[in-house]
Amino acid sequence: MKNFFLCLIMLLAFGSAKSQVVCILCFDQNDSISDNVTNLLLNGGFESSNCGGLGYFCPNSSFYNCDLTNWTCTGGGTNTYAHNIDNTFSMVIEGTQAAYLGNFYCNACSNVTNDTSCLSDSACTMNPLPPGFPTNTVQQGGSTGVSLSQTVNGLTPGNTYVLEFWAGGEGSSWPNRGLFGVDVGFGDTLLRCKQTRSFSTDIGTRYLVEFMATSASHTIKFTNWGHICQDCTELIIDDVRLYPLTDLSPSVSPCLGINPIALFSAPNHICPGTCTSFNNLSLNCFSFLWSFPGANPSVSTDINPTNICYNSPGTYAVSLVGSNATTSDTLTLNNYITVYPYPAAQGIAQSGDTLFANAGAVSYQWYYNGGIISGATASYYVASASGDYNVVATDNNGCEVEAVIFNVFAGIAPTQFEGEGVYLYPNPVHDNLSIHKLKITSGSIVSISVYNMTGQRVIEHQSDVYNSKYGIALDVSVLSAGLYYVGISGVENVFYARFIKN
């Protein structure tokens, strides 16, 4: 019969290295806590190795002669004697072998041998030790100690997992509890281990470390610095298992007092018809329900939803419900998503071999037959080859709108003197340019814009006086010498032409 009890520690310090460790439970028992679990660790019983029996598995040691499959030994030194053991050495809980992290004597509290005055239990864990301790000689790994670790992949960030393992120690020569560290990705937590020589009477410790995954990969690491006193044991570990919280035995009460906190962020100023993604920053949650009114999709249960698309300008709320085994937390941010107004409509007009986009955008980029035209970033483009052209215009919000023109014929001379629909005189011009032969009804309002070679509008003129005899007079005396484009728009027609200022 399993004897569940003992200690519980809640780790709630935001910003600390262990802020993603939900809680640590410890039980005075040898048998497992949860049965029939999905163990995400490999060789958790240390049964597989290339030792051909028992051997020393730390490469830094002069005794090194083999490896434990799927586990990596780091740290230690030439005198480190960590090795796999059988039940002639101590209790073995699972299979026939366990891992012993042998590393001789260390100093836990000060440089005084056997000084254990700083050791203070806090429920299942130990309170922090002085900086730089525990420490050992260089030959035993110094303050680094000797570690055995395995990296586990395929975790779901935001989900809670349970690291379950058994901890024991050496025989009757070391009856007092030892000290070791366990790290699930957030730094060492100090724990205690007891001597477990006798299979029939000794009882080790079962630990459960519940933590929230912050990435798809976490490294599980055990560290021993050595005997913390002359009669304190060193660490033996066995039956190491990592499984989802949903596999935890129902006999174990959920960690109480751990409230979920729903938090998120996202790029939240976007253009209409585009999508955004959300970064889940929640704490102590393992299930999520998102609400995106006005978006497609409008709901999600993903941890970090992607491709949430908004088609219409406006402001939109976002809600997230984060839950754990006991309760939930809801965060609603009103007007969180801002979808900019539609950019001004864009179009392309052709005058001779020159293509004109609608003026007013912040930037332009021209394309030919689907490929970008390097350096073509003005509001107009002189077509050098026949084919299809399109332009992407960007407004001051960074929103883009596209226009396309098909079957452009290159090499058609632009209107400089008298052409179809418009006549400029004189051309070249010095002071006053006359615009004639506009196909615009007499009396219509005519808007005229003059652009330089970089696409900058340098003259804007509006006239409601037009007749076929006199046309429109435009003062261009303020312009510097060079080539210019004139755009002429009326009620029904838009014309473009070039002129030269001398």
> What pLDDT, on a 0 to 100 scale, did the predictor assign at position 464?
62
Strand order from edge to edge, sheet including 380-382 = 348-351, 354-357, 380-382
Look at residue 493 in the predicted model and tell me its pLDDT. Answer: 56
pLDDT digits (tens, 9 = 90+) for 467-480: 555 678 889 999 98
CATH superfamily of 264-339: Immunoglobulins (2.60.40.10)
User: What whole-number distance in Å separates Cα of residue 231 and Cα of residue 467?
Assistant: 113
What are the phi and psi torsion angles at 318 (to 5°)? -135, 135
The whole-number pLDDT of residue 468 equals 55
252-289 confidence digits (pLDDT tens): 876 755 678 899 999 999 999 999 999 998 877 778 99
pLDDT tens track for 111-136: 999 999 999 987 899 988 999 999 99
pLDDT tens sequence across 317-376: 999 999 876 688 999 999 999 999 999 989 888 877 788 999 889 999 999 999 999 999
- Give pLDDT tens digits for 381-435: 988 888 889 999 999 999 999 998 887 766 544 443 333 456 778 878 889 888 8
pLDDT in tens, 284-299: 777 899 999 999 999 9
Domains 1-253 and 264-339 share a fold: no
Instruction: Tell me: pLDDT of 447 over 90.
Output: no
Give the CATH superfamily of 1-253: Galactose-binding domain-like (2.60.120.260)
Edge-to-edge strand list for the sheet holding 189-193: 72-75, 146-152, 218-224, 178-183, 189-193
- C-alpha 378/C-alpha 341 separation (Å) is 23
At residue 466, does pLDDT exceed 60?
A: no
CATH architecture of 418-501: Sandwich (2.60)
Structure token digits, residue 408: 């452009």
What pLDDT, on the 0 to 100 scale, is given for residue 412? 45
Number of alpha helices (DSSP H) and beta strands (DSSP E) in the chain: 0, 38
Taking the domains of the chain in order of start, what are their residue ranges?
1-253, 264-339, 348-408, 418-501
Sorting pLDDT into bands at 50, 70 and 90, what band is 4? very low
Q: In terms of Cα–Cα distance, which of 229, 230, 180 is closest to 207?
A: 180
CB 106 within 8 A of CB 228: yes
pLDDT band at 161 (very low <50, low <70, confident <90, very high): very high
